[in-house]
Structure 1
Amino acid sequence: MEQLKALIEKYTPTMIEFRRDLHQHPELQFEEFRTTDKVAEVLDQLGIPYRKTEPTGIIAELVGRKAGKTVALRADMDALPVQELNDELPYKSLEDGKMHACGHDAHTAMLLTAAKALKEVQSEIKGTVRFIFQPSEENAQGAKAMVEQRAVDNVDNVFGIHIWSQMRSGTASCVVGSSFASADIFSVDFKGRGGHGAMPDACVDAALIASSFVMNVQSVVSRETNPLDPVVVTVGKMDVGTRFNVIAENARLEGTVRCFSIETRDRVENALKRFAEQTAAMYGGTADLVYDHGTLPVINDEKDALFAQSVIKENFGEQALIQEPPTTGGEDFSYFTEHTPGCFALVGCGNPEKDTQWAHHHGRFNVDEDAMAIGAELYAQYAFEYLQQNS
């Protein structure tokens, strides 16, 4: 609808103002109380009914004048424990050690703006649009909590967007199939036998066990998984030893696994356990591996992704649509698509002229706010057109 495009343009200044306010007041996982209240204030003004979820978050619904299906639009709201380095910004974070370093402030403002526009064309909507303002994406707990609180009950389709600094502003992507990887966390506690550094023969060196594991575990990727099925195994933390002349009795490693297949995930989990136990046994120690499943992989439904691509081309031109390769980053949007068909799109916000090309989670991360109008309109147009075609 051209009307939706005009409405998004009309509300863009307010959208940017709202996003900047959220940026100045970032809130961490399940602490988004102010953000929740700010969204609720606008929904009250619009007359869109909603309910707050526990402990934070909002689910709102706009029922069209004509019967039809239900489509859900999702935006995440939480910030990160990152120190903002954008000292020149007039809307820099006011919270020391906290910032919106991933664009969730933009997502929230974009979805709220889409709600404003859709409210003005409510009489033309064939069905229901559900707006999910989700907390706690960064620790992969928010989507689970929202699903448990009936966020996607009786929903026929779900659509989400992520601002993406690795794509140039003015572009959008929604690939068929794999989009984001599963994101799991593992820890290994190695136990040796400590002692004097000058008497290694009387000890079992946990540092040696841990180092051997780190050096050899990459063969899980190179020799135990399908080379056509991407896998990342990263050991990001090692805590071992107490003093320069003491052989370590304990070592603790922490890491992450990323992949696009549940079968591969299971295979890697089993291999890591075997590697840990047998590496430790080889040196005379023991190992205890804990593997925590994080997000599922985000796999876009083919029909829905192709539909999203058509919406992008129709509203922003052929040149706007790109095919961004899958990322091994994690996204808990996967818990929605586990229950309901849907897809997840990326909207480019990278612009070197505005210094918005920094990686997500970096202290210099920022958003080219011109991209937010594309995101807001894509939310609105996807919902409206989906309901029109599936009524």
Structure 2
Amino acid sequence: VYSEDEIYTSTFLGMYNRMLRKVKASSSFEFLHHNNFNKFRTFIKMCAGYNTLSGFLSKMTDYEKKMLFQRLVQGIENANDNLSSAVTIADTYGSIKSASEKQMFEEAILAYYEEIRYTDPEAEKLYSLILSVFEIGGQSTSTMAFNDQTVSLKILPIDRIYKEGKNIQQHFFFDDPDGKASYAHFLGTFRNGNWRIIDKGTYILIKSVRGMAVEIYANKPTTEYAGQDAIKAHFAETQRWPDVVVHRGHSYFASAAIESLTPNAEIVFLGSCGGYNNISQVLKYSPNAQIISSKQIGTMMVNDRLALELNEVIRKGQDIVWDNLWYTLDRKFAAGTTADKRFKDYIPPHKNLGALLIKTYRSML
């Protein structure tokens, strides 16, 4: 919990599994209590982000779950970063799969909302927004603002990512065995009559040859730094920055892609393990971006299919309807395969509760 931004997905999952084995004989609530609930919101947020929350809650009685949810939702208006705490609540709620646990969570936050709604105007505004995100209440102003954001994220009009006669993308690859394998597989998906691959030395340029003009810039993993620098220099020279940015690599490489973002980015695809945890950082650099992320382990089998299908929609000049794209992708992966299981952890922009909360909150300021 003291290295939330630095910890690798594999490290967190490994430590989490070791911890869970040690608390097998007792409840996970007792584990939190024994540690005086130190930074427990951060830990719960990380469990939600790495899709391990259900397992953690399964080691509690119903009474303990109610106690935990009450602690989690109460008093965030007094936190140093109350929006971050609100996102933790949204992410947690979105990760709860059990209907009975969702009901307990809703009861906890509704009860606290009733306590503060007439005594603390700022707290009322924040909690009303959370209730709107959960679609279980809230004032009309926050509900309307949330509904506007949800509608705006369901469909991305093509003109937002097709500017000055073309769509520009940057894909980041990294110099390790996984990066080299992902890069080779990625190139293979574009070896068809709709695309042309041009070698630029330290990077490659993939251009559409039919339909709308699309240019995809991707550094070679073997020239990771030189390739990324060359692409950046090209964008700076042309003063045309990417509309779509895709991170392809482990979570500890994500900062390279995120820190390259500009307000021009309309789609950010975090194809890395645990990419879900980087949402707030992405929105700091690209406030209007629609974000695709994974809640656990990213895989090239899903990433490459998703990238290709997305680019086919763009090449054809169609608006991006995320529900339709997800439906198409779901049919591409054979039931029960690793890709099919991993794809279920990928979150489209309009279903990311944390991002929705941040965007709605900012729209209400």
Q: TM-score range by the shorter chain?
A: under 0.3
Higher strand share: 1
Normalising by structure 1, report the TM-score: 0.26
Look at both structures and tell me which one has the larger radius of gyration over its CA atoms.
1
As a proportion of its length, which structure holds more helix?
Answer: 2
Q: Taking CA–CA contacts closer than 8 Å with sequence separation of 6 or more, which of the two structures ends up with the larger relative contact order? A: 1
